[in-house]
Amino acid sequence: MPASLPNALDAFWMPFTANRRFKAEPRLLARAEGTRYYTPEGREVLDGTSGLWCVNAGHTRAPIVEAISRQAAELDFAPTFNLGHPKAFELAARLAALLPGDLDHVFFANSGSEAVDSALKIALAYQRARGKGEKTRLIGRERAYHGVGFGGISVGGIVKNRMHFGGMLTGVDHLPHTHDLARNAFSRGQPEHGAELADALERLVGLHDASTIAAVIVEPMSGSAGVLVPPKGYLERLRALCDKHDILLIFDEVITGFGRLGAPFAADHFGVRPDMITFAKGVTNAAVPLGGVGVSKAIYDLMLERADSPVELFHGYTYSGHPLACAAGLAALDIYRDEDLFGRAAALSAYWEDAVHSLADARHVIDVRNLGLTAGIELAPREGAAGARATDAFHACFDQGLLVRVTGDIIALSPPLIVEKAEIDRIVETIRAILTGLD
């Protein structure tokens, strides 16, 4: 590393990063291909996290690269306020066909955070359009991650994401999280215990009255909190309660969308239909930022029918449906379809499950959980230093040629859907070796 390089790093205030520690000992990525990153020195790093839960089809896929290049040469930008361009409509139609049930309309944003804030605003606008403007309360869940907009951190439930930024949105409450280490440790797939936690919605209805509640938003599987898998029957119960009390149900599928659980969306995997789905990340294979909301026909049709002005939704972004993002999205969807990557993930999930659960007896491990091609490996924390052990594991894994993700004292894994069995073995063997030598 050149001696001058640390100074060259100073200007970038890095997100969700211990900046002083990183800039003292930088770990950089220079290029990527398939399931591999490469450092500036040329050292190979196996990607065990699909970048950041997002590069589902593997890195620098030629069809996506070529589609972006062609689009940039043809139409670099077009506004979508009272204008349009063909690829935005084409991608929306392709996504509408892929989304479950009657979620056949798509609103484009640029990220998962924007997608969540868009879904929350659509929920509120819908309730007002149907003559129930008093339904303004939003219900999230403890330990939830819904991005970093003020709407997302308000309905989210990760303490550090909320505590520094004041009072958040008003009229927000939270369901309890579903992580139950005492009863569900080392579950394979969905845990047996905890469906009754959905009944907490009845308590919130009793506290606030259903006439004030617009929507409930949950991640069907919580990724950023450390792969928290919903108990059997939990999502079904939540859907039934929302129906009972005339409350919209929003699934945040920014992580679970596009094959992560072996199906197009988690809603397909679990057989539970929400009223809206937020998506991002895998929609373009992360090559160009893009997010969005899949919206039910009932919501879309009513809002158009009851609109009190020609503009039905006063919301949008300069880059909604950006041409380069749409080109990347169309190419990514082609790869998912042509290579049957969702089916491939489903077929690999049993091998993945056995492999990650082989770490149950590894040093420091107090839980292993999995679903689809995801896994959370929870470590016993060091006394008085929560998160330090997993952070040390992250650095040691990278230095040994493996990229993992950590949150608190949990190692989270989500490899590209093109991962091979030998690479799964390498992921597990590397983690075991690191944990064996870790204090």
> DSSP per residue over 322-382, as a string?
-HHHHHHHHHHHHHHHHTTHHHHHHHHHHHHHHHHHGGGGSTTEEEEEEETTEEEEEEPPB
Query: Whole-model pTM above 0.85?
Result: yes
How does pLDDT run across 339-387, given as a tens digit for each residue?
A: 999 999 999 999 999 999 999 999 999 999 999 999 999 999 999 999 9
C-alpha 360: how far from its chain's center?
26
State the CB neighbour count (10 A cutoff) for residue 68: 19
Beta bridge partners of 356: none
Q: Which residues of the chain are in CATH 3.40.640.10 domains?
A: 65-338
The three-state secondary structure class of 139 is strand
Mean pLDDT of 53-64: 98
Cα 20 from Cα 5, distance rounded (Å): 14
Mean pLDDT of 131-145: 98
pLDDT at 1: 45
Whether pLDDT at 2 is above 60: no
Beta bridge partners of 215: 138, 248
pLDDT at 47: 98
Whether pLDDT at 12 is above 60: yes
Architecture per CATH, 65-338: 3-Layer(aba) Sandwich (3.40)
Around 6, how many Cα atoms within 13 Å sit in the side-chain half-sphere? 9
How does pLDDT run across 243-276, given as a tens digit for each residue?
A: 999 999 999 999 999 999 999 999 999 999 999 9
How does pLDDT run across 144-177, given as a tens digit for each residue?
A: 999 999 999 999 999 999 999 998 999 999 999 9
C-alpha 157: how far from its chain's center?
15
pLDDT at 167: 87
Report H helices in 196-258: 200-208, 234-244
Report H helices in 141-219: 150-155, 159-162, 181-184, 200-208
Cα 177 from Cα 427, distance rounded (Å): 29
pLDDT at 4: 52
**Is the separation of the CB atoms in 382 and 279 below 8 Å?**
no
Average pLDDT, the chain: 97
Q: How confident is the model at residue 58 (pLDDT cuts 50, 70, 90)?
A: very high
Q: Which residues of the chain are in CATH 3.90.1150.10 domains?
A: 5-57+340-436
Whether pLDDT at 182 is above 80: yes
Whether pLDDT at 3 is above 80: no
Cα 356 from Cα 366, distance rounded (Å): 13
Mean pLDDT of 104-109: 98
Topology given in CATH for the domain delimited by 5-57+340-436: Aspartate Aminotransferase, domain 1 (3.90.1150)
Type of residue at 407: T
Whether pLDDT at 189 is above 90: yes
Whether pLDDT at 8 is above 90: no
**Is the separation of the CB atoms in 109 and 115 below 8 Å?**
yes
